[in-house]
């Protein structure tokens, strides 16, 4: 349509070719910028690994260097001896793993009932669960802290795990997924004599594996990385999780940089490996629930 108006102005013969070259230059340059940006994005993690393997003298001598001039595993050795690192890793695994397993189980039970069973008050219960999603965690943390104190659960695993063992978001996500499964499956199983738990366990759960895996992965990640909750519930070093212990360690005076970065690298490692192996579930889980 615009060609008629443009045709009146005669373009010089060299123009199209030159424009094309310019366009290509811009295209390649912007890809170059994008690749540089991506490299800059992961640079802090590369630097973290680099520093964890350097000696203090090497680091102070040339902070502009990304990679060790002189290699050393002293940092890893230091963090493993200065902190009860095995214990912290164990705590984090028990907290994140135990909570996630319980949470996925309880959320799938509730989600199943809300999606596929008929009972009075179903809609009301669903709305109450959704409403709790609106409330920021900080509002509940003080009363929960007092409840845990009354129960004698502060600084214990049950105190860390039980209050977090269900999530409104997980119930919502699984309910939505379970509703997409055809109702005929339940009817057929009913006729074959299966009860509602057998239908849940043998039919619905196996079909929901991808959704369960996504929920598992993002919840495990969120709990592994969780900071404020374990910080408030645990009070002694032997009950801390990696993120809060790492932070306390970093604020000590005269801290050894290599040890600190080694600690950071070790706390990140399980998630980094999980991310590389199961990226699909991270992406799906985050895209569907908005949890980060």
Within 14-43, which residues bind another protein (CB under 8 A)?
30, 34-35, 37-39, 41-43
Q: CB of 250: closest distance to another protein in angstroms?
A: 5
Are the C-beta atoms of 164 and 73 separated by less than 8 Å?
A: no
Q: Exactly one of 137, 158, 180, 210 binds another protein (CB under 8 A); which one? A: 137
For residues 29 and 228, which CB has a smaller minimum distance to another protein in the complex? 228
Q: Which of 18, 24, 132, 252 binds another protein (CB under 8 A)?
A: 132
The smaller minimum CB distance to another protein, of residues 81 and 132, is found at 132
Alpha helices in the chain, H assignment, sequence order: 3-7, 15-52, 56-61, 74-82, 85-116, 122-132, 137-151, 157-161, 168-179, 184-191, 196-198, 205-207, 209-225, 228-233, 242-250, 257-277, 279-289
Structural contact between residues 208 and 272, judged by C-beta atoms closer than 8 angstroms:
no
Nearer to another protein, 162 or 185 (CB): 162
Closer residue to another protein (CB): 34 or 73: 34
Residues 71-130 that bind another protein (CB under 8 A): 106-107, 109-110, 112-114, 117-120, 122, 125, 128-129
Decide if 68 contacts 62 (C-beta within 8 A).
no
Per-residue burial over 142-171, b = 16 or more CB atoms within 10 Å of its CB, e = otherwise: eebeeebeeeebbeebebbbbbbbbbbbbb
Residue 190 contacts residue 118 (beta carbons within 8 Å): no
- The interface with another protein within residues 236-275 (CB under 8 A) comprises 242-244, 246-247, 250-251, 257, 260-261, 264, 267-268, 271-272, 275
Check residue 213 for interaction with another protein (CB under 8 A): no
- Output 77 or 280, the one with its CB closest to another protein: 280
- Contact status: 224 vs another protein (CB under 8 A): yes
Q: How far is the CB of 114 from another protein (least distance, A)?
A: 7
């Amino acid at each position: 349509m615009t060609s008629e108006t443009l045709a009146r102005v005669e373009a010089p013969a060299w123009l199209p070719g030159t424009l094309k070259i310019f366009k290509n230059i811009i295209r390649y340059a912007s890809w170059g910028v994008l690749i540089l940006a991506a490299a800059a994005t992961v640079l802090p993690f590369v630097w973290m690994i680099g520093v964890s393997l350097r000696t203090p003298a090497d680091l102070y001598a040339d902070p502009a260097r990304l990679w060790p001039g002189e290699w050393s595993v002293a940092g890893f050795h230091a963090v493993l001896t200065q902190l009860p690192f095995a214990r912290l890793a164990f705590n984090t695994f028990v907290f994140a793993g135990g909570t996630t397993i319980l949470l996925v189980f309880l959320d799938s039970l509730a989600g199943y009932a809300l999606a596929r069973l008929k009972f009075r008050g179903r809609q009301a219960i669903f709305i109450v669960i959704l409403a709790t999603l609106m409330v920021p965690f900080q509002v509940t943390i003080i009363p929960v802290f007092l409840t845990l104190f009354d129960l004698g659960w502060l600084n214990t695993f049950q105190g860390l795990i039980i209050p977090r063992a269900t999530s409104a978001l997980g119930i919502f996500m699984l309910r939505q997924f379970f509703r997409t499964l055809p109702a005929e499956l339940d009817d057929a199983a009913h006729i074959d004599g299966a009860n509602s738990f057998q239908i849940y366990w043998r039919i619905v759960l196996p079909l929901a594996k991808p959704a369960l895996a996504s929920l598992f992965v993002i919840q495990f990640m969120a709990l592994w990385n969780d900071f404020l909750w374990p910080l408030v519930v645990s009070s002694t070093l032997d009950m801390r999780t990696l993120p809060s212990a790492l932070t306390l360690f970093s604020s000590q005076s005269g801290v050894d940089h290599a040890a600190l970065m080694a600690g950071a690298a070790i706390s990140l490692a399980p998630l980094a490996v999980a991310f590389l192996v199961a990226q699909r579930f991270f992406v799906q889980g985050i895209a569907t629930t908005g949890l980060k």
